[in-house]
Structure 1
């Protein structure tokens, strides 16, 4: 027997005359190997009661078969499997059944994924097979797959292209890896170690294909790399009739666009991973995801051409006049992407996510798919198939996280107590689970084995799947924290928190408001009872609560040292109290864990604008850190919102810190308004808003950023240049006396009073109102001077 141990890099499926072929490219320590498995079938399920109707619907189609299986749906109804010997046939069968309104279950699971998930292969794999005459791993006899832990070292290549303004010709292609630093450029020049010239675009693309094959990367990385770089490379290769052989199967690369406008790459044996999508998936948050902004935030270094609105024209000038400078710019973009992946450990995060969920490394989002990969094989093993999509109970009360009415004010010494992973711990404690719900309604289930949920749900204590998955992930995360493996810890956190969304989303197969409500409504109950017990037993006032946290007011008489000890005492008491409550009421183990998280020495809970009521999900505080230092924290306020100006954000930070630290602030507020009206702060007055749709789609309502973008469109058209403002792009503009104007074409005087009224007053008065003051009163004496 030959044995191959490695990591599943890419997976593919195709129709052959003998059946479906599954194709797995596996990265081992030595090489990348293709393992194929032939003569496969697809399978999905229909109810026994619909077999006759299905057979009538499929008259005239050959190559499928129906077979009774020893499984039921979650309502205890028997099912048949429908097996098809080709992917094309399955599509035809599904189309016929859909027209006949016959519900199907698991019809969307790809055979290439089902093969792995049913064997619990989540990345690492061991393949065993008798050697063929050529000594290679082939499809006959069929190889045997089993899961294993296999280390993986992936070879990465960062790619970036520079083009004409219309992207109808490629100027240069930059490639950067651990052992490669090269720009290939169209045109004439002197070759160097990092720059090579080619006479035309055809020879440039051919050289790129050869270089990729020579370097042999496992993964391409880039910034908008599929939607721009690979799309343009494919378009130009097609125009020149050059097969873009970037895959390990020596077949042309394909770039396709979904109905929603998302671009995807079809490539065997290599992956293409976009930095923007991956950062978002790993929950990194930036005001802008432009390469310039992200790299500046991480490294205080950015692109070699700094003005975004002039960048395209400058690239064209460099190509005409200074090709080596363009090459340096091109290569630096490649390096920036490489450095971002290194700094944020994105590939480590993706690898760990794959090991936990079975998702392909390049999968964007995929919380429902991750749930399926872990849940379905376990579900099948206890005798069930998954339900048809979104067929669960609906029309019930299944709200989101609980948010208490806040008590607005400017406070001393506020503690935050936080339930650790509240929703996953509710799932574990109260056995919230699709299979557990099915088992709970079985006639033979005894009272002692049941836990009541919400919306009429009843769960089995002993026959469930999801609580076990959560338990395994929880233990893995604790170990990851112990080992200081941040990517793994982050991957597990994202996966666990996504499970509630899977149960509560109508686009997921396990949607059921009995499940979602048994999580969120239980969370409401837990937060309310926690508040009531704090106020009853300790006498402290809870001034706010949000989803999994309560904010406890200690007051002015408390010291920093006392606050910490009281926070620990609160957490210890409440954890014991909750364990007693759950044991008494449900006779089950408690996994709820309340942690003393934060001590704010000063804290602001603002009012809603134009109201005396307290706001929600908005606060600020001076946090006391363990080392004795303090840190200003903003939640939901202007300081952390990118659609407010730097003027508003900076003054909020400065003013709140002064008030929290009992420092003077009247004089600097007055001087700030003077400086603003004198034009000394113009660089802080820029608004940035994202376009959600094309400009011509804004018909009835044209918000300020759209008005500015329309003016910019006219400006660029007069220059015979492409308008840079497309859906998803940010518009930067200034408010002038003639309305919003784009920063690249300011024609009118700035409306300074707009900034006083719309930017300064809201952020200043939100805290001054609790001191009986207002910005308007402070600056009243200045009006005559500036009028």
Structure 2
């Protein structure tokens, strides 16, 4: 039954967007989730467009008329950054738009022609995920269709979305064996084969066609808003699309019966009408999680404390064996992978993070990476309202390297009391304080007498800018998110704020200008150096500084509460000094805010190995949290993935001994003895990724490649491609592939020399140790 309604208004959140041509005209289709309904919304009357400079109008008109392309060209109130006025060129249909782009390529410079029409519509209305929709509503099976729709931004709506975790198992050619599906309420596997008992629920099907058809049936029955998986977009979705095409099966899993579509370009896009597909790896990277490897087995163990049923790196052979000889075991493995992904999403609130990111940027929920796209989405509509169009990549022709963050030479040594003062969001604060902005740079150069002086001839308008306001709104939103305990929104805002400098310094951004990036980093250098000077004038020693952090040494005699008091006083004093100086020197309000972050007691800053000068970005300090002592390592072996577990364990122990006044030599002897006795063999394994497929290494062959080649020769691996993590150990015959409980002929001496002694030797006043290669008994102290 179809029920037609009059004009209706709904509040919803955009799940998917699509641009299609109907009867020769562009139609925009958006699916939204509301509290009570699923909405399929049609927007008509939008025309594809791009901009050209007014000086090119006659040429464009001539070229398009000759090819009988239907178009309209209008003068506009907009201009280019070079102050030339521009025209807007609009088209009646998508094919004419694309034909015009092809005809004008290499003859006329086009602007904003790469902005997707579905994105432009939402962007220009400042719609970031949530929207009010008004139009003619018709109730259909499972959703409400809205035509003649109009959108308006809604800032405070976030939907409850249902997730379905999906995982496929297949052979090396992509031929499907089974598909696992897991929600909060249901868990089962669809598998090819004759019915047989299994520990998990299995829907048995006869062949691959039936497998794909059953998948369509089950997804439509479960009706999820979001499909999730591990590498699901680049792998699972691609394989499913290829196998569906090969078998003549339509993957009709859209909310309206539409098929799943795959679009390949710089990255793979998956379009499912009314649904979203999110990849777990990408979500974790966007949320700034870091792991040695993003393999599901590794991440699940770290996050959930659980492992996969088939854990080895080269598991394809075992999957094929189980499919032919032990299908119930494969079903259990398949379903467990789905469950692990769902549990990771739930524990880390990854879906909430995706929603929060879209609320801030307007990007699609599934958008991978996207710092440049987010900046464009936020900035472009503001730029248009100020009378400018966006420039093309590096059109200004200016290119030079901007310096990185300020890193001060360190004063190595063991200290009793170190305070760390951090500037809160230093680069965003510089942007806000000094009005650093792409349009502001153009306006500042037009009226330099009243502009704020930047660096490398950059000048910035005091009034004509947008980025400082964006930073201010983001900072305010983050404080509000913290007050509301919305940690995912707070984290999303932090990531976006910290990406602003990187975007302006990226040649892949249309607003890239090295005068912008250098005016941020060089101002950061100036701020850090002046802050150090003020602290030293107050009678304290600064032993190190890094980007936005200043390390201050206090007298050993001070107690913890006295150090805390000094830290708070320094914080207030420095902030007052910056407020006063910026008013006096620039006539600017200061948004710089230094915070007393940490009191380390003790604190150790090592030297560079083999030298007497202090290291950079490497230190360890002790803090007290909830009455317990905790070591905080930065850049040391214990937090690096290219050192063995024994090295990390030893460094923790020897630093603890150093801080507690114990004998580091005794600790070192104990670890050396344990290594020579074979007590810690499993902790001697290195794990390194291959930078390319193993067969492409021909000249310089690093240890992990030698181990991978040996493993392939001995049948321990079938292949080793780029990104494969290779576990290996150092034997007396060179690097060897590490198989648990089968490490033989370990070259213990190399481990002492390369994993233990370098750590010991960085300690202050370290005695010289000498170990000869003829065994444990030769250990001696010189």
Of the structure 1 ranges 632-641 and 657-666, higher mean CA displacement relative to structure 2 is found in: 657-666
Secondary structure in 1 matching 2:332? helix
Number of the residue aligned with 2:756? 760
Question: 282, 290, 297: which one pairs with 2:287?
Answer: 282
Secondary structure in 2 matching 1:771? coil
Aligned partners of 1:622 and 1:657 also within 8 Å: no
Aligned partners of 2:138 and 2:146 also within 8 Å: no
Measured in 2, the distance between the counterparts of 1:68 and 1:581 equals 47
State yes or no: 1:740 paired with 2:735.
yes
Summarize deviations over 1:739-766 as a string: whole Å, max 9, x none: 2111149796222221111111212211
Q: CA deviation at 1:771?
A: 1.8
Question: 289, 292, 303: which one pairs with 2:297?
Answer: 292
Measured in 2, the distance between the counterparts of 1:244 and 1:133 equals 24
Measured in 2, the distance between the counterparts of 1:394 and 1:489 equals 36
Correspondence list, 1:367-378, <5 A? 367-378=371-382
Number of the residue aligned with 2:227? 220
Measured in 1, the distance between the counterparts of 2:48 and 2:509 equals 21
Secondary structure in 1 matching 2:446? coil
Q: CA deviation at 1:454?
A: 1.2
What's the RMSD between the two structures over aligned residues?
Answer: 2.4
Correspondence list, 1:407-446, <5 A? 407-443=411-447
Correspondence list, 1:46-57, <5 A? 46-57=52-63
Aligned partners of 2:749 and 2:773 also within 8 Å: no
Question: 249, 256, 259: which one pairs with 1:252?
Answer: 259
Secondary structure in 1 matching 2:601? strand
Measured in 1, the distance between the counterparts of 2:724 and 2:650 equals 27
Of the structure 1 ranges 616-625 and 413-422, higher mean CA displacement relative to structure 2 is found in: 616-625
Aligned partners of 1:190 and 1:196 also within 8 Å: no
Aligned partners of 2:139 and 2:145 also within 8 Å: no
Of the structure 1 ranges 188-197 and 148-157, higher mean CA displacement relative to structure 2 is found in: 188-197
Correspondence list, 1:101-500, <5 A? 102-131=108-137, 142-148=148-154, 149-164=156-171, 166-190=172-196, 194-258=201-265, 262-309=267-314, 311-392=315-396, 394-396=398-400, 398-443=402-447, 447=450, 450-500=451-501
Of the structure 1 ranges 86-95 and 211-220, higher mean CA displacement relative to structure 2 is found in: 86-95
Secondary structure in 2 matching 1:151? coil
Number of the residue aligned with 1:773? 767
Of the structure 1 ranges 77-86 and 587-596, higher mean CA displacement relative to structure 2 is found in: 77-86
Summarize deviations over 1:145-197 as a string: whole Å, max 9, x none: 10113331111100112223x25432221111123211122112247882221
Structure 1: state its 5+ residue gaps: none
Secondary structure in 1 matching 2:109? coil
Q: 1:582/1:697 Cα in 2 relative to 1: closer, same or farther (>3 Å)? A: same
State yes or no: 1:77 paired with 2:73.
no
Q: 1:225/1:784 Cα in 2 relative to 1: closer, same or farther (>3 Å)? A: same
Q: 1:96/1:542 Cα in 2 relative to 1: closer, same or farther (>3 Å)? A: farther
Q: 1:392/1:562 Cα in 2 relative to 1: closer, same or farther (>3 Å)? A: farther
Measured in 1, the distance between the counterparts of 2:251 and 2:669 equals 64
Secondary structure in 2 matching 1:531? helix
Measured in 1, the distance between the counterparts of 2:290 and 2:400 equals 34
Measured in 1, the distance between the counterparts of 2:769 and 2:163 equals 55
Summarize deviations over 1:53-103 as a string: whole Å, max 9, x none: 434554425123322110112232211112233333333333333322x33
Number of the residue aligned with 1:521? 522
Number of the residue aligned with 2:586? 586
Of the structure 1 ranges 387-396 and 628-637, higher mean CA displacement relative to structure 2 is found in: 387-396
Correspondence list, 1:540-689, <5 A? 540-625=540-625, 627-689=626-688
Secondary structure in 2 matching 1:383? coil
Q: 1:773/1:238 Cα in 2 relative to 1: closer, same or farther (>3 Å)? A: same
Measured in 2, the distance between the counterparts of 1:520 and 1:643 equals 30
Secondary structure in 1 matching 2:531? helix
Measured in 1, the distance between the counterparts of 2:623 and 2:769 equals 26
Aligned partners of 1:414 and 1:555 also within 8 Å: no
Structure 2: state its 5+ residue gaps: 1-6
Of the structure 1 ranges 486-495 and 497-506, higher mean CA displacement relative to structure 2 is found in: 497-506
Measured in 2, the distance between the counterparts of 1:191 and 1:63 equals 65
Q: CA deviation at 1:27?
A: 1.0
Number of the residue aligned with 2:4? none
Number of the residue aligned with 2:36? 30
Q: CA deviation at 1:520?
A: 0.7
Summarize deviations over 1:450-491 as a string: whole Å, max 9, x none: 321111122122221111111111000001111111100000
Measured in 2, the distance between the counterparts of 1:256 and 1:696 equals 31
Number of the residue aligned with 2:3? none
Secondary structure in 1 matching 2:545? strand
Aligned partners of 1:670 and 1:778 also within 8 Å: no
Q: CA deviation at 1:671?
A: 2.5
Aligned partners of 1:620 and 1:634 also within 8 Å: yes
State yes or no: 1:693 paired with 2:692.
yes
Aligned partners of 2:31 and 2:274 also within 8 Å: yes
Measured in 1, the distance between the counterparts of 2:668 and 2:311 equals 33
Measured in 1, the distance between the counterparts of 2:562 and 2:135 equals 67
Measured in 1, the distance between the counterparts of 2:423 and 2:68 equals 56
Q: CA deviation at 1:106?
A: 1.4
Of the structure 1 ranges 328-337 and 659-668, higher mean CA displacement relative to structure 2 is found in: 659-668
State yes or no: 1:18 paired with 2:24.
yes
Q: 1:397/1:731 Cα in 2 relative to 1: closer, same or farther (>3 Å)? A: closer
Measured in 1, the distance between the counterparts of 2:519 and 2:772 equals 52
Secondary structure in 2 matching 1:40? coil
Q: 1:255/1:145 Cα in 2 relative to 1: closer, same or farther (>3 Å)? A: closer
Measured in 2, the distance between the counterparts of 1:366 and 1:473 equals 17
Q: 1:199/1:400 Cα in 2 relative to 1: closer, same or farther (>3 Å)? A: same
Measured in 1, the distance between the counterparts of 2:622 and 2:583 equals 38
Q: CA deviation at 1:229?
A: 2.0
Measured in 1, the distance between the counterparts of 2:469 and 2:12 equals 27
Summarize deviations over 1:374-403 as a string: whole Å, max 9, x none: 111111111111111222463446211111
Of the structure 1 ranges 732-741 and 54-63, higher mean CA displacement relative to structure 2 is found in: 54-63
Secondary structure in 2 matching 1:441? helix
Aligned partners of 2:481 and 2:487 also within 8 Å: yes
Aligned partners of 1:349 and 1:487 also within 8 Å: yes
Q: CA deviation at 1:367?
A: 0.8
TM-score with structure 2 setting the length: 0.94
